[in-house]
């Protein structure tokens, strides 16, 4: 029994230009199989995607690949080559993949035979034509969008929060609601630098009785040049495109403050971007809060599992490992230590050679005894220096040494995984440390 899989795909542009749709493609595939394989028994399964042909990461297409690898398919049928893909490299790779697994490929419209040289030539010509058509569509779309923007019309993308679009597709500030005022207040609060995005979102939502603002939405709004009337699209840059909600100076100041706060927030956390949740493997977010007495507490928070752990708890658990890391980093950064270590190694080598030579009858033993004594004294001095260097006290809780300790941690710790034990305030901490092998 033949095992046949049909594949259908739609894209909005193709559907608009040629009137294709998924149901029409599925009917054509079923009808083709009915009349082409009427003398044989077969099973037909039709899969479909609603994604661009330039994107090979399609759910149903991946299912077909898996079935081909597992030898569950004999024939693949699709309406035309464009349905399979539009990129010539992807098409060639897919067809070669099907041929390697001895799966027959049928295009209802083109009817090429990949078992002959002429059929393969026709396939390559069709694939090139398909890619050219895709690129032409993209270029026409981009030209249309550029022409619309140059004419002062907002023709592409979602309407930014705080604006409305009239019948002529011109952006206007929404003066009937408080949205524009919310935008202005958010930029002002960010520029002050006293509050995090989470705190600003809570303040604005409470003041204007809305639930729109989140940390992510504020971060997205901060990137919109349209709020001071400037439109940027690819290489197109139009100033005074529409009425501004804020000034360009406020926009720049807010983003400058935001960047500074981000850099500072990453620096002040000792394990920033190294702490992962063991349950979901997500990087835990840096958070901080002040107690009523003004003491700063630093946390790492998993947004998925809602788990939180204080930095000092991790530091306490890994204190011995971190001390070893800092000592190793200190050694690697000290030229004097490295030179003394090299000198010790060379002196030991000379001492071994002198001892071997003194045991032979070819040299004067007394002269070699003096040499061995000098080398032994030199080795003792080098060893004492190295021991004193290693025994220097290191306080990992000293704020003045924070940057140095942070650098050592970045160099030697790959990740720290945290897992909460039941409902108790107790954690299982697992760190991947490569001592002597910096990342």
Query: Which domain CATH number covers 65?
Result: 3.40.50.1390
Question: 310 with 263, same domain?
Answer: no
Q: Evaluate if residue 358 carries a pLDDT over 80.
A: no
> From CA 52, how far away is CA 277, in angstroms rounded?
35
* Top-confidence residue, 395 or 239: 239
Neighbours of 112 (CB within 10 A): 21
Q: What angle do helix axes 59-69 and 88-100 make, rounded to 10 degrees? A: 30
- Structurally, how many domains does the chain consist of? 3
In this predicted structure, what is the pLDDT of residue 363? 55
358 close to 369: Cβ distance less than 8 angstroms? yes
Q: For residue range 397-436, what is the model confidence (pLDDT) as tens digits?
A: 776 677 778 888 888 888 888 887 655 445 566 666 665 5
> Three-state DSSP class for 217?
helix
374 assigned to some structural domain: yes
Does residue 154 belong to any structural domain of this protein? Answer: no
User: Number of H helices and number of E strands within the chain?
Assistant: 15, 14
Q: Are residues 255 and 397 in the same domain?
A: no
- pLDDT tens-place string over residues 80-117: 888 888 788 888 888 889 889 999 888 888 877 776 78
- Tell me what the mean pLDDT of segment 5-18 comes to: 67
151 falls within a domain: no
Last residue of a domain, one of 267, 290, 311: 267
Q: Is the pLDDT of residue 263 over 80?
A: no
Q: Which two tokens stand for residue 204?
A: 């604005």
Do residue 304 and residue 434 come from a single domain? yes
- Same domain? For 277 and 422 the reply is yes
Q: Which of 154, 162, 316, 158 is nearest to 236 (CA)?
A: 154
Domain boundary among 267, 287, 310: 267
Lowest mean pLDDT among 234-238, 300-304, 364-368: 364-368
What distance in Å separates the CA atoms of residue 108 and residue 105, rounded to the nearest whole number? 10
Which of 267, 302, 318 delimits the end of a domain?
267
| Residues 6+ positions from 73 with CB-CB distance below 8 Å | 3, 4, 5, 64, 67, 103
Residues whose CB falls within 8 Å of the CB of residue 181, separated by 6 or more in sequence, listed in order = 208
Same domain, 65 and 178: no
Dihedral of CA 428/432/434/439: which sign? negative
290 and 219 in a common domain? no
Structural domain boundaries enclosing 7: 2-137
* Residue 9, domain member (yes or no): yes
């Amino acid at each position: 029994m033949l095992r046949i899989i049909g594949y259908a795909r739609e894209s909005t542009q193709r559907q608009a230009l040629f009137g294709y749709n998924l149901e029409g493609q599925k009917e054509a595939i079923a009808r083709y199989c009915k009349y082409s394989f009427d003398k044989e028994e077969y099973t037909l399964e039709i899969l479909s995607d609603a994604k661009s042909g330039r994107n090979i990461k399609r759910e149903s297409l991946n299912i077909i690949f898996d079935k081909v690898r597992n030898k569950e398919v004999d024939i693949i049928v699709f309406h035309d080559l464009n349905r399979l893909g539009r990129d010539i490299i992807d098409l060639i790779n897919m067809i070669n993949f099907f041929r390697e697994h001895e799966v027959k490929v049928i295009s209802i419209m083109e009817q090429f035979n990949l078992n002959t040289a002429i059929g393969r030539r026709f396939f390559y010509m069709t694939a090139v034509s398909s890619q050219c058509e895709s690129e032409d569509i993209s270029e026409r779309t981009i030209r249309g969008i550029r022409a619309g923007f140059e004419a002062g019309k907002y023709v592409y993308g979602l309407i930014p929060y705080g604006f409305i679009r009239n019948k002529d597709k011109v952006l206007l500030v929404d003066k009937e609601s408080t949205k524009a005022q919310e935008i202005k207040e958010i930029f002002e609060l960010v520029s002050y630098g006293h509050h995090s995005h989470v705190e600003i979102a809570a303040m604005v939502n409470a003041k204007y009785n809305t639930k729109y603002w989140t940390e992510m939405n504020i971060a997205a709004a901060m990137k919109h040049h349209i709020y001071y009337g400037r439109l940027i699209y690819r290489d197109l840059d139009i100033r005074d495109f529409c009425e501004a909600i804020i000034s360009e100076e406020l926009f720049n100041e807010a983003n400058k403050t935001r960047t500074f706060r981000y850099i500072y927030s990453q620096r002040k956390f000792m394990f920033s971007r190294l702490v992962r949740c063991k349950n979901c493997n997500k990087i835990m977010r840096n958070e901080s809060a002040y107690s009523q007495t003004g003491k700063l507490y630093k946390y790492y928070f998993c947004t998925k599992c809602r788990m939180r752990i204080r930095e000092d708890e991790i530091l306490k658990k890994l204190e011995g490992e971190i001390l070893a890391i800092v000592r190793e980093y200190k050694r690697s950064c000290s030229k004097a230590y490295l030179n003394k270590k090299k000198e010790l190694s060379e002196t030991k080598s000379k001492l071994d050679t002198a001892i071997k030579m003194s045991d032979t009858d070819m040299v004067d033993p007394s002269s070699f005894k003096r040499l061995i004594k000098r080398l032994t004294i030199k080795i003792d001095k080098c060893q004492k220096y190295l021991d004193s260097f290693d025994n220097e006290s290191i306080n990992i809780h000293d704020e003045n040494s924070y940057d140095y300790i942070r650098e050592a941690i970045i160099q030697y710790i790959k990740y720290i995984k945290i897992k909460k034990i039941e409902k108790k305030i107790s954690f299982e901490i697992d760190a991947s440390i490569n001592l002597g092998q910096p990342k």
